[in-house]
Each structure stands twice: as structure tokens, then as C-alpha cells.
Amino acid sequence: MAFEMVGVVGLGTMGAGIAEVFARGGLRVIGVEADADALARGRGHLERSTQRAVDRGKLAAGDRDEVLGRITLTTSREDLREADLVVEAIPEVLGYKTALMNDLDGICKPETVLATNTSSLSVTAIAAATGRPGRVVGLHFFNPAPVMRLAEVVRTVVTDDDVVPAMRELAVRLGKTAVVVGDRAGFVVNRLLLPYLNHAAVLMEQGVAGRDDIDAAMRDGAGLPMGPFQLLDLIGLDTAYEIMGVLFDETRDRRHAPAPVLRELVSARLLGRKSGRGFYGDEPRPHEPAKSSVITFDVAGQGGDELAERLGTAGFKRSAEPDVLLRMADRPVIEHAVQLSDPSRLVGVHVVGGRVAEVVSTVLTSPEAAFAAADLMKVIGLAPVACKDRAGFVVDALLYPYLNDAVRMYESGYAPIDEIDSAMRLGCGYPAGPFETLESVGLDVVRDGLRALYAEYREPAFAPAPLLDQLVTAGVRTFPRP
Ligand SMILES: NC(=O)c1ccc[n+]([C@@H]2O[C@H](COP(=O)([O-])OP(=O)(O)OC[C@H]3O[C@@H](n4cnc5c(N)ncnc54)[C@H](O)[C@@H]3O)[C@@H](O)[C@H]2O)c1
């Protein structure tokens, strides 16, 4: 199957990037938008993105004109008559996509492959809207498409045998790695990523921690390329909301019910980067708070002596009657607080990734003590993340369920371990896939953390996946790979 001329319908966040990927891969591209204004916006996306690639040295200045020259922009779908492949990237609404595909079916050559960039909708349902379901496939790129190296190729039960290998080859030609998966809501990446993003919004709504603290915890503590709220703004809150809705409809897992704050922001048309404001906007940066007047401290718990030494070197005095008592902990801090005559001075500390300290306030902690503890962490070069005394605090509460979901996905037979790992690395830019993370954190640590989360929230999906539990029981430290 030779793909020389491809159509891209919808030149928004994703479509413009996909058109650029094809053009940079040497293919001729016809980009279709709904109307002249949207087409002008699409042209703007293409021009800015290719200019950025030149500025970053990823594209030669001379090649940029050639790349843009390969792209023809139009508002007429009829111009797709000669295309060998058409990829749609219009909004994530099934009715829009089925109507478009039905139309394309009437316009394009019978052998043309029709691909959808849907993140979560049923590719089978989209295929069924055409008279050529065997030539409809999912081709799911990641944001930003010119940068992220993954493409999920989604095969339905009726996809023709020659289409999937042709898509895989095309992905390779475009410099992407293809992961071929079946048609389940969210495929690999969004099925694992979006519930984590949603959970971050839920934790914020529950007041466990604030937006900036959660983002800092996951970026600087867990080592992810950006925090969940930054990523939600990048994806687009409307897109994220739609995907969560589709996941929920398929799974009925209440963790997949979109966080109410998403609905509120979407209703207000605060959609993230594409509308200029979402979780982040142009609000003034908060002032650096003044330094606290804490003079003495004490530290208890595992790893406390090292922290005490660093604080001592920074000029603070350890005392048996301290202004603030730091308790190193990865479990509820309140259990330690209630044993003290003055629990208001006790603040939990959980260091994550060597750069972040979760600073945990119990219901009995005084605001002054929490403030002082955060200050002490800053002095020794740790970014403080203020949070409530809830199982898993911030990082573990967000990370462990995601890891557990990956184990369940593998157990269900949906995708092999290595493909799940490479999908998350290449699709999200994560430093490691979930199984690699599980093995480096320790299967037993994650299993025990999940048990603690389950015990607190009674959320069925937090119960350790049977495979994880069994591997820990058997004393095995790595996952079985073929
Ligand atoms: N945003 C992401 O991070 C991301 C990542 C992967 C996949 N996706 C998927 O890509 C698709 C598009 O998402 P997006 O974020 O680019 O949305 P978007 O809102 O940024 O862009 C959609 C574009 O489609 C255009 N459009 C709407 N109806 C049209 C029609 N009938 N004909 C031609 N153009 C039309 C709109 O004018 C708009 O420019 C969705 O299915 C989404 O799930 C999004």
C-alpha cells in the first residue's frame, strides 16, 4: 500500500501537528478545515510549529518552505478525492466523527484508508458508519504530534489484514514507533494516563493539595516531564473531559467519572492552552511568603538523622523542645501526632525523588508549624509540597493506582509489558514505563502502598492487582517478560 497523498481533516491542536508530521515525512498533504477562519488558525499553527522546529535546530530553514509547500489547505472535503489515506482529527464527539467518515466514504477512492485520531471513542463504531469498515483504523498520535514518537494503531475486529502492517510501516517512515492494539476505550496510553490526571483534579478538589503543589510533586518528585494540571491544559480540558466520559461509559469505574472541576472549566470555555486559560491562566504569580521565624526543630523516623544533619549545617538547632517536630513518614502522620503532648507542632515529611518534600499537615498541625516546616525544606534545597494527611499523600496516591492499572491491563491480555512500557515512554515522554517504575520502586513497596490506599479510600481499583500481589508473595522482584 503506497501512501503518497494524505488528507488531514481538522487542523486544531492535533491535526495541524499531524499534517506537519506527514509533510516532514515527504508526503503530500491536503489539510481540510470547517471554515475560512479555522483554516487561517490551522495555517497559523503550522507556521508557528515549523518555525519552532527551525529555532530548535530540528528542521533546516530551507526545508521549512519545502515542508509547508507540500501542504495544501482547503475548506472543501471534495479535495480529498485522490488521497490514499485520510486522518480525521476533529473534536472528540462520536456523532461528528461518524458523519464525517460517512461523507469521506462517499468522496474517497474505494481503497483509501480512513483513519481516526480519536483518543477514546470506539473505532469500530466509527468504522461501521462507512461502507468500508475493513479500511477504517485508529491512528492515534500524541501531543505535540511532531515531537512525540509514538503512534497507537488501533485494529478493530473487521480491519482488513493488509491495513495494520501498512499503518505500522507508515509510522516507521514518519519516524514514529507503532504499538498495535485492539479497540478498547483509551487504548493503552489514555487508559492509563487520563485516570491519573482526573485523580489529580479530584485530590485538588478534596483539598489534599493545591494545583501548584501537585504539579511540583509529580514533576520534580516523580520525575515526570510536567505536572498533571500543566498536561491537562496542554491536552485541552474539553478533550480530557470527553475522554473521561467515554472511559466511564465503558468501565463504570467511578475513578473515570470526570472530576467536577473539569466540567466547570469546560462550561466556562476555559479549555487550557488553546483558549489561553485553563487550570493555569494569566493570574499573577503568588508572592514568595516571608521566611518563618522557626529556630529549633527535631526530627523523628527513618532518614531523620540525615535531614537533621542538613538542617544543622544550614544553621538550625536540634532541640528536645523544638518549635517544630518533623516526622519522617510514608503513612498517616496523625498516628504519631496523637502520642505527643503538643501535636500541633508535628509535621510529616516525605522526601520524594531527592528533590521534593511532601510536608504533611494533620488535623492537629498548627498553620505556623506547617509553614515553618515548608521553610526548613526550602533552606535545604527541597521543594516543599504542602498536603493533607491522606494515604499516599500526593505522589504515591497518584502514582501507585496508575502502576496498578498497568498491571491489570497486562493481566487482561490487552497488551504485553514491553509495549505498555514503550507506549508510556514514547507517548507521554515519561522517563520510564510503568513496569520499569514498578521494578525500580519495588513491587512490595507499591503493593503495600496500594493496600494502604485501599484501606483508606475503600476504592476497589486501589486493591493490588492479583499478579502484583502474587509476585510479591512469591518474592519475585521483576515482571515475567518473554
Ligand atoms: N489534544 C490532545 O492532546 C489529543 C491527543 C491525541 C488525540 N487527540 C484527539 O484528536 C482529535 C482532535 O483533538 P484536538 O485536541 O486537536 O481538538 P481541537 O479542538 O484543537 O481541534 C479540532 C479542529 O477540528 C476542526 N473541525 C471541527 N469540525 C470539523 C469538520 N467537520 N471539518 C473539518 N474540521 C473540523 C475545528 O475547527 C478544530 O480546528 C480528538 O479526537 C482528540 O481526542 C487529542
Domain boundaries, the chain: 5-182, 189-275, 296-388
Model pLDDT, residue 331: 87
DSSP of 348-410, one letter per residue?
A: EEEEETTTEEEEEE-TT--HHHHHHHHHHHHHTT-EEEEEES-TTTTHHHHHHHHHHHHHHHH
From the list 130, 79, 76, the residue with the least C-alpha distance to 105 is 130
| Cα→Cα distances 101→104, 106, 137, 172, 187, Å | 5, 9, 11, 25, 20
pLDDT tens, the chain, 482 aa long:
889 999 999 999 999 999 999 999 999 999 999 999 999 999 999 999 999 999 999 999 999 999 999 999 999 999 999 999 999 999 999 999 999 999 999 999 999 999 999 998 999 999 999 999 999 999 999 999 999 999 999 999 999 999 999 999 999 999 999 999 999 999 999 999 999 999 999 999 999 999 999 999 999 999 999 999 999 999 999 999 999 999 999 999 999 999 999 999 999 999 999 999 999 996 655 555 555 666 799 999 999 999 999 999 999 999 999 999 999 999 889 999 999 999 999 999 999 999 999 999 999 999 999 999 999 999 999 999 999 999 999 999 999 999 999 999 999 999 999 999 999 999 999 999 999 999 999 999 999 999 999 999 999 999 999 999 999 999 999 998 87
Alpha-helix runs per DSSP H in 25-122: 36-55, 61-69, 94-107
Q: Which residues participate in catalysis according to the annotation?
A: 119, 140, 152, 190
236 CA distance to ligand 1 middle (Å): 10
13 CA distance to ligand 1 middle (Å): 6
Round to the nearest angstrom and report the end-to-end CA distance of the chain. Answer: 32
Q: How many CB atoms lie within 10 A of CB 332?
A: 17
90 CA distance to ligand 1 middle (Å): 4
Q: Does domain 296-388 have CATH number 3.40.50.720?
A: yes
Which residue type does 349 have?
A: V
* Residue ID of nearest Cα to ligand 1 atom 6: 142
| Cα→Cα distances 173→24, 46, 112, 179, 347, Å | 10, 20, 18, 14, 54
Ligand 1 atom closest to the CA of 118, numbered from 1: 41
Contacts of 112 (CB under 8 A, 6+ apart): 83, 84, 85, 86, 104, 135
**Are 5-182 and 189-275 equal in CATH topology?**
no
65 CA distance to ligand 1 middle (Å): 25
Model pLDDT, residue 287: 53
- For residue 147, with 0-12 CB atoms within 10 Å meaning exposed, 13-18 middle and 19 or more buried, which class applies? middle
**Cα angle, residue 189 at apex, residues 183 and 195 outer, rounded to 5°:** 100
- By residue count, the chain amounts to 482
**Protein residues with CB under 6 Å of any ligand 1 atom:** 9-15, 32-34, 38, 89-92, 100, 117-119, 140-143, 235-236, 239, 274
Model pLDDT, residue 212: 96
* Residue ID of nearest Cα to ligand 1 atom 38: 12
Pocket test for ligand 1, best of 18, 46, 90 (most atoms within 8 A of CB): 90
Residue linked to cell 510501516: 169
Diameter of the chain by CA atoms? 81
Q: Hey, what long-range contacts does 17-20 have (CB within 8 A, 24 or more apart)?
A: 17/45, 17/49, 17/141, 17/143, 17/144, 17/145, 17/146, 18/87, 18/89, 18/117, 18/141, 18/145, 19/46, 19/71, 20/46, 20/49, 20/50, 20/67, 20/71, 20/145, 20/146
Pocket test for ligand 1, best of 8, 9, 11, 14 (most atoms within 8 A of CB): 14
Ligand 1 atom closest to the CA of 143, numbered from 1: 3
Model pLDDT, residue 185: 94
* Residue ID of nearest Cα to ligand 1 atom 8: 119
Q: Identify whether the C-beta of residue 227 lies closer than 8 Å to the C-beta of residue 199.
A: no
63 CA distance to ligand 1 middle (Å): 27
Model pLDDT, residue 192: 98
Alpha-helix runs per DSSP H in 9-60: 13-24, 36-55
Sign of CA dihedral 58, 62, 65, 66: negative
- For residue 4, with 0-12 CB atoms within 10 Å meaning exposed, 13-18 middle and 19 or more buried, which class applies? exposed
DSSP of 18-30, one letter per residue?
A: HHHHHHHTT-EEE
199, three cell numbers: 485523580
CA distance 407 to 420: 10
Structural fold of domain 189-275: N-(1-d-carboxylethyl)-l-norvaline Dehydrogenase; domain 2 (1.10.1040)
Model pLDDT, residue 1: 80
Region 5-182: CATH code:
3.40.50.720
| Cα→Cα distances 59→43, 53, 377, Å | 18, 5, 43
